[in-house]
Amino acid sequence: MSTLLIALLAVPALTAMVLWVLPVSFADRVAAVVGSVISGLVLVGSVWLWIDYLRPADGPGTLVGFETAPRTLPGKLYPFAETDLEWIPPLDVRFHIAVDSISIPLIMLTALLVFLCCLYSLRITPRIGRTRSLIALLLVIETGVIGTFSAVDLVLFFLFFEVVLIPMWLVIDIWGDEHDAAGRRRAATTFVLMTVLGSAVMLLGFLLIHRQAGTFDLEVLGNNPVAGGRGVPLAAAILVALGLAVKMPLWPLHIWLPDAHAKAPTVGSVLLAGLLLKLGSYGLIRILLPVLPEATTTIAPYLGGFSTVAIIAGSLACFAQTDVKRLIAYSSVGHMGFIGLGIATMSPEGLSGALFANIAHGLITGLLFFLAGAIKDRHDTSDLRTIGRALNARLPRISGLLVFASLASLGLPGLAGFWGEMLALLGAYRPADSLPRTTFLVFMVIAGLGTVLTAAYFLRLIRNLCQGDPAEYPTTAFAVDLSRIELLTWTPLVALTVVLGLAPWLLLDYWNFV
Amino acid sequence: MPLVLPLLLAVLLFCLGVYGVLARRNAITMLMSFELMLNAVNLNLVAFDAWRLDGLATGQTLAVFVITLAAAEIGLGLAIVLLLFRGHGHVDADAARDLVEQDGGIPAADGAGTAAGRTAVEKGAAS
Amino acid sequence: MIATTWRVVGVGFSLLVILAAILLSGVEPQQTSFPGTGVGPDVFWTFDLRTDDLTVLLLAVVGVVSACVQVYSIGYLHERAASYTALVTLFTAAMVTVVVADSLFLLLIGWEVMGVCSYLLIGHYWERRDARSGAMKAFLMTRFADVGFLFGIFVLGIGYNTFRISELGSGPISPGALTAGTVLLLVGVVGKSAQVPLQTWLPDAMPGPSPVSALIHAATMVAAGVFLIARLYDVFVEAEATLTVLAVVACVTMLVSALCAMAAVEVKRVLAWSTVSQLAIMFAGLSLGTEDGRHAALFHLVTHASFKALLFLCAGVLLHQVGSAAFVVLRRYTRRGALRRAMPVTFVTMTIGLGALAGVPGLAGFFSKDSVVEAAWHHARDGSTIGWVVLVSVCLTAALTAFYCVRLWLWTFFRTPALAGALGAFEDDDPMADVDEPDTSKLREPSWLMLGPLVLLAIGAAGLGYADGVHVHWGVALVTTVLAVFGALPAYSLWQRGADPRPVVLEHEFGLDAAYQGAVVVPVRWFAKLAVLGDRDVIGGYVRATGRAGTLASQGFRLLQTGNVQTYLTAAVIGVVALAVLAGVIAS
Amino acid sequence: MTTALFSIAGAVAIAAAVLVVTSRRIVHAALWLVVALGAVAGCFGALHAEFVALVQILVYVGAIVVLVLFALMLTKAPTNPLPALTTRRSPFAAIVAGVLALLLGTGVVIAFGNEKIEPVPAGSATDVGTAVFRIWVLPFEVLSVLLLAALIGAIVLSQRKLSERSDRLSSSGKED
């Protein structure tokens, strides 16, 4: 039993319930304060968990160094803070949660982003109002995401996976783009239908795994992986990969993503891009690789191929976007393509790269969506043509941050975005021995060109949005540059982007796969 | 006496009842057809009772029970028919389509159904 | 206030770099370990630093030039000075990182941060269209090259099983991997140093502030490619094929860009092409694969840094005081001799710089270029084809260089005797040819904040040739001088006749930009449209079709809801019958 | 003897039942129902189930048919023959019913084709009485409750005001 981990799961959910129970007259502002405090506590708790994890088992002491970190198989769970309870014995389902060095950073990212979103909501809320419900939903999402990252039982994983969907659907549907009610409804419906379909397929895969191995427990499955690369294991691998690929999303299953991101409110986009996409890649690393290694070998080249296509297609699609939020959403397709490629290589480098890119993408895209939301709030539209150019002159600080975030997102070395992409490419240069190397070399070269395309569309964004002749686009009087709450919210993201860019060993040391 | 005789009679009665329920327009005749079907069941019960002779007269008892049920059923059924008549001015089961799936899923306004029903009744009265 | 702070920080940092160079000079090569990280069993990298002679040399160059530029910028630039100075400082730090890095990844970080600073600084005047597009082009071309660079790091790092620069070159590596790795690194170098075929970004980067051009696009960043090859010389010497490629690239580049410089009509553009050409001379020296060649290349790097930075700063003075560095505008002042008279310091320093560039005996460029020629001659004498090719190309380039230097000098500062008072060869391009004479009375020297660096760099441009110990190969010196004179004479005679013929192919800079536009930019736009349409009409079409099929099906099922009890009953009876039949069929 | 009796009664029942579902006069159909039910009672008698036969006549003929006739009266059912007493689906319904009859008949013949009902010596009223009040007493009581519920239900349904319904409908119409 680990009280801390259970508390991380329970506290947000209970708070959400309390917020709903409270009378309607209860002020929205207080709700935001409550949400910020609670999610702040969760953040503290998750950081504590990480420190706890790094501490050797025998009492307080120094953090373990590089040499003593557990050397793990890719994605295999080495449980920490474990809780294992009977839950539904007839179905062989247990309430089994645990974390390890792969999931704790993601949990910290979750806690951080939700905390920042709540903090942001203190001052800046969607125009529709009803902040109390929004905060409650954010907290439910937090519970779901943390639960997914800590579930050891496959059915539990599925359950938490689903818990996230409905609140996010509501967030998009209720608080989405206030100018386009039909559009946001369509986006929300497409999102929920496609992801539910994906998770249904995934559940089918889980059932096949259970049929093959007789257990849903990832810990057991990690120690006794399902052998065989044909027949049922292959089918299970395809189903699981397909289900998670919808979430990730991998080309061509990404079609829900641009709409959902573009129509969601700022905090919704941030969580959607920063957290929800990670559920897919995390699932691939945690479930597909350790449980079905041989079947994954069979499908890995295809996974890599689709990821590569995602990189190129996502980047190309960005060129033709006229909506800043859609553009950033499409950029996520490209970046998740790098993560998919890293996973597909099944090599330590590729996997570390995928994991690092997960974190980095969460931070950077979170920041980008915050910025896009800020720009949208100030101009009441996210259409690039309506916003106009020369943002450098009108909103110099926000514009500067946008340039920073764009540079980070295009994978500038020295910022967090680089290491993940670099390691994914390195993994493709040297994939696992069982994979066809030439194929992956081709993927590497194409993905490398993809980084150039990524740079190109971000520069195009900067050129068309930040730069330009200010005489043609005069400053609007009411537009405020970088408010205090925005500064407060974004500083951690910027700081972490720089810190992780300069000191990647803060995370990489603990993903030392054999 | 061969057992199939009452059984076949029951089958015929039952199927006539089925036909009546499915084909008759008037709600009261539908109810009458129900009675036919119930009788077929009773016939079966009694026939099997006479065949098995279990000494408890199970079949006959159940037949009596079914007759009682039939009485209750016809009472309720006729009440419903009367309600239908008061609401629509006719007892035409074929024309009672309040539950029809409209465009947009909104049930039909009462007026249309009533008017149609009235014309049907008037036609019947005229002929 | 913030700007002042940043200026102090910037100048202070530059001085610190100089101090570090002074302190480190003569010290034994040493390495400093920093924590590293790794993934998997055998991929491990650290962020180690190292110092040796090469580091000290580059640190000195970077420190001096950036100090000059920082001081110069105080006088030169007034708007958005804070971000500008911060970026220049960041750039200096990145360059220092590149110089002291002992880890390929640390080097890559510095390498790319330099690129970003270059991008942001070129785009400093983001109101201007040419600055925006030039910045974007510069970043994209170098970024493209950097992908090759990254892959080169992969190949070499995995091949040598280390990412430490000091450990590269020793250990087993297959010849194929060595060639592939070095060629890929070379791609990065070619992009960064604007060599053929990625040379077009450098001239287009000229809309940036002149001090930036001096620091980034003349003295340091573009020379980082030379530094890198010099740093990894052991590895490159092993890979003969790569050196051949490098030699070919360098020779083609030096001639092509010198030819382009001959047709450029703006001071900074001439200088930019000349930078490309001079960098190619350094690469030519490196491509010889001899220690002499490396030495000559680095020597030329140092002298070039001083005189090219000087020239760009002079161009900056012209821009700052006159408002433009285009020949046509400058001619308007020159016609009345105003330019020389009003700005004597600028004139003198620029003359020294151009002299050094053209290889006037006694000035820095003369010695360093001759050392390259000499190294090539020695190599060629040993029977190397590369040596001959390099020798011939550098000599030809010397002549072309002298031509465009003299052309620039004469047209900018002197009245044409042939067409006294007329605009001469450039009037076709002049949008304001009909306008009255410019007001020359306001033309004067800038403040000493700007002139100081000029003088300092001019001293370097004049005297750095003697820093390496004077050893002149008289034969080589004679040949290059004669060639320079041969190059200078046509320029003089053309100027005297008031003519400036510019072949179309040179004016269009061999049409490479148009080719790239057609081969890369347009297809990418096409594919972008294709991708969006594909998403909308193909993939989205499937999704929408699924939705529509669901709606249609539900509409079909709605028809079953007749509201008629008897229909329902009929259906139920049919169902029962069917089930019974089915059960019978299954049972039998 | 009983077989012959049964056959005659059965034939009458069938004929009457056919008339019930085909007669074009509703009132006639109700009267034919009396005949059919009576004939079935005869069948019961032939099967030595006198008590059931009596109950059949009492309840069905005495009560139910009267109720039906009342209902016909209350709904102003015309006594003249109606042209459209069956729906358009009647041929289809006939086919369905026919197939069902075929199916059931085949099943019955296959299952019980060789079984015979042994003649019973005496009437069974005593047995039924004993069974009802000994073994089936609990269902019997439950049945009485059911009858009560049906009674109340019928009253509630017929007492319902029309105006309530139309109000509800119109108000729901407004909501939509």
Q: What is the dihedral of CA C263, C266, C269, C271, to 10 degrees?
A: 90
Contacts of C155 in chain A (CB under 8 A): 429
pLDDT of residue C435: 55
Q: Are residues D48 and D108 in the same domain?
A: yes
B103 has which bridge partners?
none
Q: What is the average pLDDT across D74-91?
A: 76
Q: What is the average pLDDT across A385-413?
A: 88
Residue A99, min C-alpha distance to chain C (Å): 20
Q: How many residues appear in chain B?
A: 127
Within a domain: residue A352? Answer: yes
| Nearest chain B alpha carbon to D98 | B15
Q: What is the dihedral of CA C348, C349, C353, C355, to 10 degrees?
A: 20
Per the CB < 8 A criterion, the answer to whether B4 and D104 are in contact is: no
Within a domain: residue D46? Answer: yes
Contacts of C93 (CB under 8 A, 6+ apart): C13
Inform me whether the C-beta atom of residue B122 falls under 8 Å from chain C C-beta atoms: no
Within a domain: residue A514? Answer: no
Q: What is the average pLDDT across D98-121?
A: 85
Q: Which residues of C sit within 8 Å Cβ distance of B?
A: 558-559, 561-566, 569-570, 573
Most confident listed range (A406-410, A465-469, C234-238):
A406-410
pLDDT of residue C432: 55
Inform me whether the C-beta atom of residue D133 falls under 8 Å from chain C C-beta atoms: no
Boundary of a domain, candidates D82, D102, D123:
D123
Domains, chain B, with CATH or none: 4-92 (1.10.287.3510), 97-127 (no CATH)
Mean pLDDT of chain D: 82
The DSSP secondary structure of C111-148, one letter per residue, reads HHHHHHHHHHHHTTSTTSHHHHHHHHHHHHHHHHHHHH
Tokens of A201: 């397929």
Q: What is the average pLDDT across A420-444?
A: 90
Per the CB < 8 A criterion, the answer to whether A324 and A255 are in contact is: no
The answer on pLDDT for D108 being more than 50 is yes
Within a domain: residue A223? Answer: yes
| Nearest chain C alpha carbon to D100 | C577
Helix (H, G, I), strand (E, B) or coil at A458: helix
User: For the whole model, what pTM was predicted?
Assistant: 0.82
The answer on pLDDT for B56 being more than 70 is yes
Q: Are residues D15 and D52 in the same domain?
A: yes
Q: Are residues D111 and D176 in the same domain?
A: no
Within a domain: residue A65? Answer: yes
Q: Give CA A246 to chain center in angstroms.
A: 13
Within a domain: residue A363? Answer: yes
Q: Half-sphere exposure of C311 toward its Cβ, with a 13 Å CA cutoff?
A: 32
Mean pLDDT of chain A: 86
Share of chain B above pLDDT 70, in %: 79
Distances (CA, A) of B90 to B24, B28, B81, C31, D128: 14, 11, 9, 104, 43
Residues of chain C with pLDDT below 70 are 40-42, 336-337, 418-440
Q: What is the dihedral of CA A301, A303, A304, A306, to 10 degrees?
A: 120
Within a domain: residue A162? Answer: yes
Q: Are residues D140 and D106 in the same domain?
A: no
pLDDT of residue B41: 93
Range of the domain at D115: 2-123
Contacts of C120 in chain A (CB under 8 A): 403
Within a domain: residue D77? Answer: yes
Counted domains in chain A: 1
pLDDT of residue A176: 86
Judged by CB atoms closer than 8 Å, whether chains meet at D96 and C573 is answered as: yes
Q: Are residues D112 and D163 in the same domain?
A: no
Query: Chains near A, with 3+ CB pairs < 8 A?
Result: C
What angle (nearest 5°) sits at the alpha carbon of residue C409, between those of residues C408 and C413? 115
CA distance C563 to C584: 32
A72 has which bridge partners?
A513
Query: Which of A321, A352, A448 has the CB atom closest to C151's CB atom?
Result: A448
Judged by CB atoms closer than 8 Å, whether chains meet at D86 and B11 is answered as: no
- Number of B–D residue contacts, CB under 8 Å: 274
Judged by CB atoms closer than 8 Å, whether chains meet at C569 and B101 is answered as: no
Q: What is the average pLDDT across A10-23?
A: 87
Q: Are residues D75 and D43 in the same domain?
A: yes
pLDDT of residue B83: 85
Looking up residue D73, the CATH number of its domain turns out to be: 1.20.120.1200
pLDDT of residue A114: 93
Judged by CB atoms closer than 8 Å, whether chains meet at A425 and C151 is answered as: yes
Cis amide linkage into residue C197, ω under 30° from 0: yes
Q: Which among A112, A97, A116 is positioned nearest to A9, based on CA atoms?
A: A97
pLDDT of residue A74: 61
The helices-and-strands tally (H runs, E runs) of chain C is 25, 4
Query: Positive or negative CA dihedral for C128, C131, C133, C135?
Result: negative
Counted domains in chain D: 2
Inform me whether the C-beta atom of residue D93 falls under 8 Å from chain C C-beta atoms: yes
pLDDT of residue D164: 53
The answer on pLDDT for A362 being more than 50 is yes
- pLDDT tens digits for range C379-438: 888 888 888 999 999 999 999 999 999 998 988 888 777 654 455 556 555 555 555 566
CA distance A501 to C103: 15
Catalogue the long-range contacts made by C5-9 (C-beta closer than 8 Å, 24 or more residues apart): C6/C81, C6/C82, C6/C85, C6/C86, C6/C89, C7/C70, C7/C73, C7/C74, C7/C81, C7/C85, C9/C85, C9/C86, C9/C89
pLDDT of residue C251: 93
Within a domain: residue D105? Answer: yes
Q: Which among C437, C408, C255, C237 is positioned nearest to C335, based on CA atoms?
A: C437
Residue C550, min C-alpha distance to chain A (Å): 12
Contacts of C524 in chain A (CB under 8 A): 316, 319, 453, 456
Burial (0-12, 13-18, 19+ Cβ within 10 Å), B83: middle
Within a domain: residue A87? Answer: yes
Q: Give CA D158 to chain center in angstroms.
A: 22
Q: Which among C73, C206, C187 is positioned nearest to C138, based on CA atoms?
A: C206
Q: Which ipTM did the prediction report?
A: 0.74
Tokens of B67: 């007759």
Judged by CB atoms closer than 8 Å, whether chains meet at B18 and C573 is answered as: yes
Are chains A and C in touch, 3+ Cβ pairs below 8 Å? yes
What angle (nearest 5°) sits at the alpha carbon of residue C533, between those of residues A410 and A168? 65
Residue D66, min C-alpha distance to chain C (Å): 25
Angle of helix C175-192 relative to helix C224-231, nearest 10 degrees?
160
Per the CB < 8 A criterion, the answer to whether D10 and D47 are in contact is: no
Query: Which of D17, D135, D166 has the CB atom closest to B36's CB atom?
Result: D17
Tokens of C217: 């696009």
Range of the domain at A439: 3-508
- pLDDT tens digits for range A165-209: 889 999 998 888 888 888 888 889 889 888 899 999 999 999 999
Judged by CB atoms closer than 8 Å, whether chains meet at C562 and B97 is answered as: yes
Q: Are residues D49 and D109 in the same domain?
A: yes
The better pLDDT of the pair C430, D3 is held by D3
Per the CB < 8 A criterion, the answer to whether A398 and A374 are in contact is: yes
Q: Are residues D109 and D24 in the same domain?
A: yes
pLDDT of residue A308: 94
Query: Which of B21, B99, B100 has the CB atom closest to C569's CB atom?
Result: B21
**Mutation for testing the C interface, residue in A338, A349, A409, A449 having most C CBs under 10 Å:** A349
- pLDDT tens digits for range A242-294: 999 998 888 888 888 888 998 899 999 999 998 989 999 999 988 888 888 88
Residue B99, min C-alpha distance to chain C (Å): 4
The answer on pLDDT for A402 being more than 60 is yes
Q: Which among A107, A108, A109, A136 is positioned nearest to A121, based on CA atoms?
A: A136
Q: Are residues D90 and D11 in the same domain?
A: yes
Contacts of B66 (CB under 8 A, 6+ apart): B38, B41, B42, B45
Judged by CB atoms closer than 8 Å, whether chains meet at B12 and D44 is answered as: no
Judged by CB atoms closer than 8 Å, whether chains meet at D147 and B29 is answered as: no
Query: Could you count the other beta carbons within 10 Å of the beta carbon of residue D161?
Result: 9
pLDDT of residue D123: 65
Q: Are residues D57 and D98 in the same domain?
A: yes
Query: Could you count the other beta carbons within 10 Å of the beta carbon of residue D141?
Result: 10
**Mutation for testing the D interface, residue in C562, C574, C582 having most D CBs under 10 Å:** C574
Within a domain: residue A359? Answer: yes
Query: Could you count the other beta carbons within 10 Å of the beta carbon of residue C420?
Result: 10
Within a domain: residue D96? Answer: yes
Inform me whether the C-beta atom of residue D140 falls under 8 Å from chain C C-beta atoms: no
Q: Which among A457, A438, A185, A420 is positioned nearest to A321, based on CA atoms?
A: A457
pLDDT of residue C437: 63
Judged by CB atoms closer than 8 Å, whether chains meet at C570 and D103 is answered as: no
**Confidence grade of residue A369 (pLDDT, cut at 50, 70, 90):** very high
